[in-house]
Amino acid sequence: MLRINNLTYRIGERVLLNEANATVNAGSKTAILGRNGAGKTTLFKLIMGDLVSDEGSIDYPSSWKVSMTSQEAPSGKENLINKVMSADRKLLDLLRESETAKNPERIAEIHEILAKKEAYRAPSNAAKILAGLGFSDEDQNQSCDSFSGGWRMRIALASLLFLRPDLLLLDEPTNYLDLEAVIWFEDYISSYPGTVVLISHDRNLLNSSVDKIIHLDNTKLVSYRGNYDSFMESRRLKIRLSEKQQAKEISERKRIEQFITRFRSKATKAKQAQSRIKMLSRMKPITNISEEATVNFSFPKIEKLPPPLFNLEKVDVGYDNQAILKNVSGRLDSDDRIALLGANGNGKSTFIKLLAGILKPISGSIQMSSKLKIGHFSQDLSESLDLRTTPYSQIERFSTNAKPEKIRNHLGAFGFSKEMALKKIDHLSGGERARLLFAQISIQNPHILLLDEPTNHLDISSRHALVQAINEFDGAVIIVSHDPNFLESTVDSFWLIANQKLQIYEGDMADYRTFMLNQKTNNISDDYSDMEQSSNVRNPLNKKEIRRKAAEKRASLTALRGAAKKAESELSLLIEKKENIIEFLKDPDSYKNNPDKALQLQKEMGKLQKQLVMVEEEWINAQIELEKENDN
């Protein structure tokens, strides 16, 4: 068991942890949640012993091996199998010693230890983990230095998983993974035999692989049983209770203060007044629990363009005249909501860049509306933002006729204060840069959003806000994302990019997850040949029927959301009205001073209760229908 006991840690005058307590049971899967900058990574470093607390302690069994995700990309000329195996230094030392040892007793001891460590399976275990994270058999025999920084971070993660520590600390482990690797990783963590503590903004991972949440809130650690959705429900209840308790406290304080003001100068009541003054001084304010602040995302209403937005005819596209995608034909319309599936390197970003106009076809043709405005979110934020300038100047560049006030208001809507708007972009965090790029896209009034890993730097609440904005957007959307929950919440259809082809995938995320896990289980890396024979994959891109069904589903969902929202609004008004009547009637003086009104409100209460039952039933039915539609 991991125990955190009265832990206090300060950075200068700022307190990150103040007498914080928590426990993590052996074998459990626990997530640490909290706003950015709250101290989650600091807590990990304290557990590792890289930082020393000001007060308190962190205890776990001395026999435990503890490891944490690295922030540095590995390097070297070794092939990937050997690089991953080299993470277990003790294993390598024993293997080397087994080749040179001459003492029979030592040789026997070495082989006994190697047998316990299942050394004979080490290369196979390393290969399975690398395959799960997206490395083909050919990749695994290449040197570490031959891969880009993002892929080398995957090698670092593979090395950590190969170690199989008793306590595994994972800080944003899916940041450098694609959707296919994330699907494998979720399954791997769920069945990991040791204790896992992770920091993540990936809602799917937090729901599928976690059985406990520890929330770092106001320098304290608050524990919740269950996954992320359970945590959110429990927290909402806590917030409601906190608000009610605070309202009661305010009311009680007001009542005592009125008594003191009225009677402190009267000799007959002076003693009681003094007593209430002491009572008031002893009343400790209730700590207000509130939802963590987030920013809103919004895209303006657009002027519809005649279809299609794009029409592609036998397009080949790639780099240096080498095609990544071949013979792509099809059309895109303003009602399309598409997720691109396929492993990294297969051409998802290439296709996005083709539509964005960054890449030109090697052969074939693309027709597009002359009035089409494109909103492109690149996963490499520095491609779209001038890091030397300020957010204000960046937005001004894309809205030359806008008045300064409009630009400031626009930036404010995306969470940029006046001071932040004049700060160099180079000094902004990844999340702040992502919000700035969305502000830049929004002010251009795009007809289509091309989003390449838009959630990489966003926390959970910001991702939720982005989902809402995309669902309210009137134009077309094409998304590449490693976040399954984000895709399931925003798109109607899936396109698969594999083996240099672009095809419609008619299954859903559950079908795709099953297929990918079968691939990884059988140690088949990035081979989609079986999928191409599946009834879920269709070519060419003849989408008339799919567009019709998607439009019908969106219209149905819009109507149901409207009905649910209307019922919820009515329900809130009726509840408020009921609470006001109860507040009036519970005062005995109401019946003496205003008996007619009291009688009238008693009658109204009966009618109100019937209305509440009816409206609540309407709201529940609307929610059930919404869930059914989302499941279909």
Identify the CATH number of the domain in which residue 132 sits.
3.40.50.300
Query: Which of 607, 553, 601, 557 minimizes the C-alpha distance to 580?
Result: 601
Report the C-alpha gap between 412 and 406 in whole angstroms: 10
Task: Tell me how many degrees the CA angle 337-356-457 measures, rounded to the nearest 5.
Answer: 70
Query: Final residue of a domain: which of 542, 577, 606?
Result: 542
pLDDT reported for residue 246: 63
pLDDT reported for residue 302: 86
β-strand pairing of 363-368 with 322-332: unpaired
Q: Please check whether residues 509 and 568 belong to one and the same domain.
A: no
Report the C-alpha gap between 408 and 402 in whole angstroms: 10
Query: Final residue of a domain: which of 497, 512, 542?
Result: 542
Quick check: helix, strand or coil at residue 225? strand
Q: Please check whether residues 493 and 524 belong to one and the same domain.
A: yes
Q: Please check whether residues 19 and 58 belong to one and the same domain.
A: yes
Q: Please check whether residues 506 and 564 belong to one and the same domain.
A: no
Domain-located, residue 382: no
pLDDT reported for residue 278: 62
Domain-located, residue 110: yes
Q: Please check whether residues 197 and 236 belong to one and the same domain.
A: no
β-strand pairing of 167-171 with 66-68: parallel
Domain-located, residue 381: no
pTM of the model: 0.70
Query: Final residue of a domain: which of 542, 572, 600?
Result: 542
Q: Please check whether residues 86 and 200 belong to one and the same domain.
A: yes
Domain-located, residue 619: yes
316 forms beta bridges with 363
Domain-located, residue 295: no
Report the C-alpha gap between 125 and 88 in whole angstroms: 12
Report the C-alpha gap between 486 and 204 in whole angstroms: 9
pLDDT reported for residue 292: 55
Q: Please check whether residues 198 and 243 belong to one and the same domain.
A: no
Write the CA distances from 615 to 318, 552, 567, 611, 629, integer angstroms: 57, 27, 6, 6, 21
Q: Please check whether residues 225 and 244 belong to one and the same domain.
A: no
* Mean of all residue pLDDT scores within the chain: 83
Q: Range of 315's domain?
A: 310-373+445-542
Q: Please check whether residues 134 and 238 belong to one and the same domain.
A: no
Q: How many independent structural domains does the chain possess? A: 4
Domain-located, residue 48: yes
Q: Please check whether residues 568 and 522 belong to one and the same domain.
A: no
pLDDT reported for residue 549: 59
Percent of the chain residues topping a pLDDT of 70: 83
The DSSP secondary-structure symbol of 344 reads T
Low-confidence ranges of the chain (pLDDT < 70): 241-253, 255-256, 259-260, 262-294, 520-558, 560, 591, 623, 626-632
Domain-located, residue 396: no
Provide CB contacts within 8 A for 329, sequence distance 6+: 312, 313, 314, 315, 364, 540, 541
> Phi, psi (5° rounding) for residue 458?
-105, 140
Domain-located, residue 332: yes
Q: Please check whether residues 535 and 602 belong to one and the same domain.
A: no
Q: Which residue has the tokens 């860049």?
A: 353
pLDDT reported for residue 443: 92
Number of H helices, E strands in the chain: 23, 19
Query: Which of 322, 385, 334 minimizes the C-alpha distance to 359?
Result: 322
Q: Please check whether residues 199 and 270 belong to one and the same domain.
A: no
b/e string for 290-321 if b means 16 or more Cβ within 10 A?
Answer: eeeebbebebeebeebeebbbbbeebbbbeee
